[in-house]
Structure formats: C-alpha cells, structure tokens
Amino acid sequence: MTTAPEMVILLVEDSAITRKMEIKVLNSIGYTNILEAEDGQQAVRMLEQNPQVTLVISDWNMPGMGGLELVRYLRSQDAYRDLPFIMATGRAQMKERMEAAEAGANSVITKPFAPQELQAAIKDTLAGKTLAGRAASRMREPEVAPSGKLRLKIAHIQITDHLTLGVLKHFIESGKQTPRHFELQTQCMSSWNPVQKALADGEIDAAFILGPIAMDLFGYGVPLRIVLLAHKNGSIAVRKKAPGHPVKALLKGKTFYIPHELSIHHILSHMFLQGLGLHPGTAGNKACDVIFEVAPPVRMPEFLSGQEGAGGFMVAEPIGTKAIAGGIADELFLSGEIWENHPCCVVAVRDEIIEQHPEAVQELVSLLVQAGKFISANPDTAAEIGVEFLDPQGTLGLKKAILKNVLTDPTGIKTDDLLPVSDDFAKIQDYMADRMGLGTRVDLNRLLDLRFAEKACREAGGIIRRSILHDAAAFAREKVKVLESRGALSNKANLDREGQYLIFHLMDQAYGVDVLSVKEIVGMMPIRSVPETPRAVKGVVNLRGKVIPVVDLRLKFGLPELAYHDRTCIVILETPQADRILHMGIVVDSVSHVENIKAGQIEDVPAYGLGAPLEYIAGMAKDGDGVRILLNVHRLFSRKEASLAGGKDAQRDAA
C-alpha cells in the first residue's frame, strides 16, 4: 500500500477557505502531496495531467460539475473506474450517503472533519471497503464482561445535553451506584459525524445523539430505537460581537454555523432567521442571504471569531455561554424561548441490545432518569461533575461558573422530565420534511420504544414539562427589539472570568491570576541567566530537575526594578501552548491570598493604564475602594519567552 508521504491526493473544493482548512487537516496526518481543483471539470483536467493521483477527495455541491457528477464520470472511464474516491459534504442525510454509494464513491465524510475522521475514511477507502459493504454488516454482537454483565458502550460529545450520562458515570465510579446488569463504558467523540457513523456501523451499543439524526438513521434501516430523552431545552443562538450593529444587518450575507444539518438547531435557527425577514439556506442556493454551515460544536467559537464572513451560530451549551463569557459573541436567543421544553438529544440504543438485554436497558434508563433529577436538584454539584466529564483534559477551558449558569437558567436545559413525547417528534419531522426538505419520514410509533422510559419516570415521580411551540416570527421581531434597545447586556458576559484567583502584589497594586493556572509558589532561588533574551527574562531555574524560565513582572510591566527581599517569590504558572503545557515562573513582590471573585465584581479594562500593559489584563475586580487587576495568563508571555520553556539552550544553562 502506498504510504502517506508518497500518496498524491487531488482535493476538489470550490471554497478557498475550506480547501485551506482541509489541506491543514491532511498535512496533520502526514499527507503533503496535494493537488487542488475548484470544481469537477478542473479535477478531470488535473487527473489527465497527473496520472499519479492516488486518491480523490471531492466536495458534493460545486458550480459546474459537482462531486456526484464527477464520481459518476470517473466510474464511466476505464482509467478511473477503481480510483479511490471520498465524497466530502456538509450534508449528512443517509439518503445522500446511499446516493453517493450508488454513484461509486468509496466513502462519504461530513464536513468539517477532524483529522482522525479523515484518517479513518482514507484507511477504509484504500483497504477497499465500500459504503454498501459497511451498510450490510450493521448488527453488533453484544459484549459481555468477565463479571457476566453487559459491557455497554455509549458515545457522547462535549455538551451539557449529555450531562446525565456524566453524572451516572460519576455515581458508578464513586460507588454511589452499582448497576446489576451492565458495566458502563463511555466514549467522548469530537463531533456528531463520528457518533452518527459509529452508531450506524455498529461500533457502539448506544449514543446520546441528536433526535433528527436518530430518526434519519432509523429511516434507512439502522437497527435502533429511541428509549429516552437526554434533556429538554438547552441550546443557545449567538451572533458575532459587534456592539451597535443591528442584528439583521449583522447576519445578512453571513455564514451561520449549526452542529448538524439534521438538528433542532437547524430548525429553530431557520424559524428565527425567517422571522427576521431573512432567507436562510445552504451554500449554492442563490436565493439565500444567510448560509447555514455545519461545524463541530466545540470549534464554533473559533470559527466565529476567525472567519470574517461568520455571523453567528446555534449550539448546545455550554459552548455558546463560553463564547459570550470569552467576549467572542453576544446572545441572540435560547432555544427554550421559541419552543419551551423541546426535545433535542435522545438516548438511542441498538436493537440487538434491547432484544438480548432488556433488563440492562431498563436499568440504564432508570439510572439516567435519577441522574437527571439529581442535576435539577443539585446544579452546583452537577456543575463540578460536568467540568470533569465534559472537559477532562482542560481543552475547552470550561469553568464551574459557566456550567452552573447554564444549569440554573430558567429557560435553559431541563433534565427532570426525560419522557419522549411522540407529538414533539412529529413536529420536528413535519417541519424538516415540509419546510426544509430534509430527512426521511419514519413511523414514530416504531422508532420510539417508550416502555423503559414510562416505567422509569413513573417510579421516579416528578413533574411533566409540556412543550409549547411559540410563533417564531413574532418572537424574533420582539427579541431583536429588546436586544437592540438594551445593547449586548448579558448575565453570561463575565462567567469565564469568575473563579478563584491567587492575589499577589507589585508595588502597592494587587494583581490576580486564575488559581487553576498556578502550579506552585516557591521562594527565591538561584536564577541562571540566558543570553540574548528579553530584559524581563531573568533566566531559568532548575526546580526538581525541571528547567523553568523566570520572568520578572516588574520589568515586564515597565515598573521600577526592586532588589529581591524575603517576601519576594516565584509563582510557577502552567500555560497551554498548542499541544503541550508549558511551565513559566513570574517574580512578584509578595503573595497575599486566594480570593473567590464573582462575575458581578468584574469589569472590562478601561482605555487607560493600570500598572500593566492592557493586552495582559483580563479584567478588573472591584474590592471596596480598590481593584484587583486580573491577568490573562494565556497572553502574558511572548512567543520568545515561552520558547525558553524546556528549550535546549535553557536546559544547558540551568545545568
């Protein structure tokens, strides 16, 4: 088999920005010989000129010759009949996967894709696996653990919607719950694409997944049933932060990100935007003035802030609130404001598990219902559990304050009534099919297996939250009036900065750094200088065999230099840089205490100096007549300063 460095890949994509992103993904997994084409016609010419091409990755919707026409043409030519072909598309309906398979595509991958998703698609394609072949082998043999219990493998992603699973996992690991019939194995995935594929291909037993995706999979023969809701409400729509700009003008002509084409987010965004007099749709539709584009939930803030043509997004929490708290976005609306107590994510379980292990499914559903009621009654503790479950590696920078805000918002997520209602799914199906031309109509009575949820909810007791779908157009007009009259005020704005801070002093000013960024505090120790470094870099220290650069904050902030004394100390900070954690030391006059700072105490930085350059300041915390200057550790060190952490020159000089 041709190795990655030797392979020549033809990437066919009409969007220059998307091509750039996809090339970056290809490079990250070792593929560097990449040819580019803007449409199918150019791709054919390039194939004729470059017979060494090993693989074609093509977009579906392109002007001129699209991806479907391209693969049909290639399969009609002897020279390209067996050329590996991956269709990349922002649309993720099963009927399109089947259409692509019939046309001759080896694989279909939904954009935007993560490196591991693309690597898996390339591996399968080069190994000769086909969509048709994978579709034919969907049954999964239930796995029994040595204990005799069912080993239940459940997929989820990093959103609050799936917190009931996180709470159940926590209870099992802490010994508060010991299931009699199953052992729980959770698998966190990067986006909906791999969850959808894993459930369809029988790689997992169950999934916390968007209801419309489960409906679509069921409609195309994937053996599954919806046994429970994961939550009600829980999503938020935001717009790019642009104070003073009218909402409609800010969104018109822009991209609006959604987590999946088959989602409640797509439906409610469509309702809201149409209510504003806009014409939302997908790329290629000339009548549209807002373009829906699919993006992985956790990357939406990055896409919104990094793409000039981005207007907003709708996503499950806590992604939206985190973007607001981080100053990237302003709130548009909560999903529960348009459709009170709507379904969204569901618990979908494969048929073979239900048929062979009904007692395990019943126990799972009952424990999830209990976990949902616990979240509703104990949002503070649930938020702590959620941070660990949803962000175990700290990649989201998720904080308890953000999750607690999401869990306690009156119009936000609800987990104390998880009983599916057939009429709600009928509303979803009708709107998608009749108004948006999406999905496949299914027999909801067969899809919804309510016996487990009805028993669990009856035994657990509690309230029933009826869903109410409001007039979306009237709501949109009124909501925008309110937003534009009051500006961008939001109780979520400072949540990302709320938390515990280590307070220290320089001269007579108090500063704070997030205590989660503090590794330890040490007294002054010998510092070895490093040549050709910025003046503020005092050198490096050898702390228990680890070389750590040390920066004097007085010098960095342009304050008068001070001789070190018995209260001077070095605060060792942990700063994330790309794919690793760097350790940096800062010299401060003295360390005072750890202080719990609430969002209500924090204000933005004024347009004048406060004893530190403005780019280093995250905000100001009021304290009586004084203030704490809160520092942004992520911006505190220059690239040259950070490069010293663990560098060979630093190690040699510290030895």
Q: Is the peptide bond before 318 cis (omega within 30 degrees of 0)?
A: yes
Question: What domain range includes position 88?
Answer: 8-135
Instruction: Kindly state whether residues 109 and 243 are assigned to the same domain.
Output: no
Task: Measure the CA–CA gap between 352 and 167, rounded to whole angstroms.
Answer: 26
Kind and range of the H or E run holding 631: strand 626-631
Q: What dihedral angle (degrees, nearest 10) is formed by the CA atoms of 380, 386, 388, 394?
A: -110
Instruction: Kindly state whether residues 458 and 481 are assigned to the same domain.
Output: no
* Residue at 1 is within a domain: no
Distances (CA, A) of 207 to 153, 202, 403: 8, 11, 22
* Residue at 140 is within a domain: no
Instruction: Kindly state whether residues 228 and 244 are assigned to the same domain.
Output: no
| Contact by Cβ (8 Å): 257, 283 | no
Tell me what pLDDT residue 654 has: 43
Q: Tell me the one-letter amino acid at 591.
A: V
Instruction: Kindly state whether residues 641 and 599 are assigned to the same domain.
Output: yes
Tell me what pLDDT residue 355 has: 96
Task: Measure the CA–CA gap between 245 and 250, rounded to whole angstroms.
Answer: 6
* Residue at 145 is within a domain: no
- Grouping H, G, I as helix, E, B as strand and the rest as coil, residue 484 is helix
Instruction: Kindly state whether residues 601 and 632 are assigned to the same domain.
Output: yes
Task: Give the CATH number of the domain where residue 39 resides.
Answer: 3.40.50.2300
| Contact by Cβ (8 Å): 611, 560 | no
Instruction: Kindly state whether residues 131 and 217 are assigned to the same domain.
Output: no
* Residue at 143 is within a domain: no
Instruction: Kindly state whether residues 285 and 418 are assigned to the same domain.
Output: no
Instruction: Kindly state whether residues 350 and 335 are assigned to the same domain.
Output: no
Interaxial angle between packed helices 192-201 and 115-126, expressed in degrees from 0 to 180 and rounded to the nearest 10: 40
Dihedral sign, Cα of residue 25, residue 26, residue 30, residue 34? negative
Q: How many domains does the chain have?
A: 4
* Residue at 44 is within a domain: yes
Task: Measure the CA–CA gap between 630 and 621, rounded to whole angstroms.
Answer: 7
Domain boundary among 101, 135, 169: 135
Strands across the sheet containing 590-597: 590-597, 499-506, 509-514, 626-631, 617-623, 602-603
Tell me what pLDDT residue 601 has: 83
**3-state secondary structure string, 328-351?**
CEEEEEEHHHHEECCECEEEEEEH
Beta-strand runs (E) in 351-485:
468-469
Least Cα distance to 62 among 34, 43, 85 occurs for 43
Instruction: Kindly state whether residues 360 and 215 are assigned to the same domain.
Output: yes
Tokens of 122: 């390339």
* Residue at 316 is within a domain: yes
Q: Tell me the one-letter amino acid at 174.
A: S
| Contact by Cβ (8 Å): 142, 205 | yes
Instruction: Kindly state whether residues 533 and 643 are assigned to the same domain.
Output: yes
Phi-psi category of 74—alpha, beta or left, where left has phi over 0 and alpha has psi -120 to 50? alpha
Task: Give the CATH number of the domain where residue 639 resides.
Answer: 2.40.50.180
Instruction: Kindly state whether residues 269 and 293 are assigned to the same domain.
Output: yes
* Residue at 405 is within a domain: yes
In the chain, which residues have pLDDT < 50?
135-137, 488, 648-655
* Residue at 144 is within a domain: no
255-313 per-position pLDDT tens digit: 999 999 999 999 999 999 999 999 999 876 778 999 998 888 988 998 898 888 999 99
Tell me what pLDDT residue 652 has: 44
Tell me what pLDDT residue 140 has: 74
pTM: predicted TM-score of the whole model, two decimal places: 0.77
Task: Give the CATH number of the domain where residue 433 resides.
Answer: 3.40.190.10
Instruction: Kindly state whether residues 632 and 537 are assigned to the same domain.
Output: yes
Tokens of 318: 């806590």
Tell me what pLDDT residue 120 has: 85
